[in-house]
Chain A
């Protein structure tokens, strides 16, 4: 019979489980004390600490929370659209939330459907995914991962968040504009957008604020990554996530200004009566427009897609960065082909500026231009494939830990694969003639962004939650969330390929009910709509898990995933309220030193001194406590 072992804690002897509890409690109390201690030393007051904070971590959280709210809001717009598409002509009492002008008696009007579509796209791209991927994850993690006390320009960082929030509020306010909000699609193609109701003007002002925000943010990120890397953190020792953010920032910096110019031109068209985008002799509802004419609607398309194609990579690169971190950590081995991934990312960044007109094959640009953009589009698929293949190969021979973040990261790979591969036919001018503006396109880019990027965001949230709160999210609820999301999201998007191949156009108010060629695939509309609502139910475990775990989640030590990067290994979880590090760490090796032969532990943190016991767990805390006593 085994003797009952007991552990001595203070004066008492306790069972191991109770001892562990006591220890965790002690860690928690100590962390809180440290926090208070810090705040006492740097009293900033409520407003400077929680509202107008200049600390990158708090700004990251502000970004994250706001973006998650917009994500849910954008999703709910889509849920209403799916009701209309699944059961066109049917009145739903829930539609009444849109008001009598949009949905009299619960029947959605066509122009209201257009409003929902335009705002779903705008909100998801500019207010949800990009702020979440760059504003939240980038802000919180980049300084921690490169060993910096904060971003290079903390005040600009704060300004960036407030510009973003005001842009978002302007977008929301536009719903109350006379004639409703913007209704010309997230692409706002003229001439329709120029002659649309007032909401479009609000949309343009909102966009200019959002562009300003991302401009401030991207300058800040690039300067931070170039200038504030700690000693020994060479470019080739940067975690892949930081590389992804670096290239993303360049895309934001250089691709957004042309859209800003385009936005100014469209504002001039709408407010000052110019005709940048209005051709001569335009007739609207039977009357000739009294404008000077001579403008060119294609000019908008060029300027818009010059931003919007790099924007696709802004959506996907940070996601790849998150997935790379999670995969390296949970396979317990280095990323396969880190260098090729880095070079592929940089090359992808360059190429993304010369592919934009593949969105415009059907505008009659001419075969020579089409051939050029078709070629560059095929070329840009190469770096994406390099990155994805490297991530797949990283799994080979790893002892994989199937925790929730890893499940989401693993699901990202085939989902993004489907999204990417279905893009190839769209990049070929000949195939695009059939597929352009059909549901196939919708399926394609949603596979990239929804089960692709959003899954990576979920992986990131589950993975870095202990970093932010010191507590883990529940694995059981996490897995429930994962499986429901994976099944239903495919239920939403896969039938779109079938519909698109049958030739069903996007932006149809009735989902194709009045078209003969759509009849054989019409039934899938109901299936997709049901899946979309089930997907909403699938998010409930996440929301519960998120708020529950902030307060009651399992307490963990500073490095619960036993990771090597500085964000985990060189600072406490949650990190110090100001300054991140007691002493800026000195980096001695690459980012993914897992399972190094001959090493005692299966991970060596980037800053650990070789020959010594690598610091993991709460070691950092204990050390700091000792240091505090001595001081």
Chain B
């Protein structure tokens, strides 16, 4: 649970810097088009370019390297797995052969190239997503999604869930620690049963809290209508400049991404 507490935080998105000040719609345009270009790319240079630019941009707003690497830990392990699996599975030309615990493993050149390509796409894509999430708060994201005609009900649920996840996390962490200190996790079997009880309590508390929240909303005039109140301000000069910059840069990235290197 510690992992989620450390990673699952919008602390960087709440800071005031040049990236958090950019309009969420511009950032959404950027992230969606760059992700598409990243997928489309036929060489590893475009994804690696996205990875490097994301790192530079995140360093420019003083995001700690450790925070970036912590977020990328799981995708990196997946990327390595893909590289190895493809290296072992695809192609004919033998590149490297080794024996691990008696099993002969042969890495093939074509497979490693293809694996490296996918691996770079994973790293490029995930770095773009991380850059977006490190610079955008959930309330701005909701406002941006509303502008993109995502259904109100879905955005309301997103806002609700996000708001209460942290609160429930704290409650669960307290109960989890209490269970652990009272030998509730002494054996594997006990731990499963304790998890069941903990989750049951979580559902019961969530149900009670939902009733209390509804009462509070009802008092404030909620009758089942829309609850979204965040409105976006008009674009500033910088936002227009960023958007126009994207319009010019995108075709160049598409062109460069289309060049076959191997």
Chain A bound to chain B: no
Taking Cβ atoms with an 8 Å cutoff, the residues of A that contact B are none
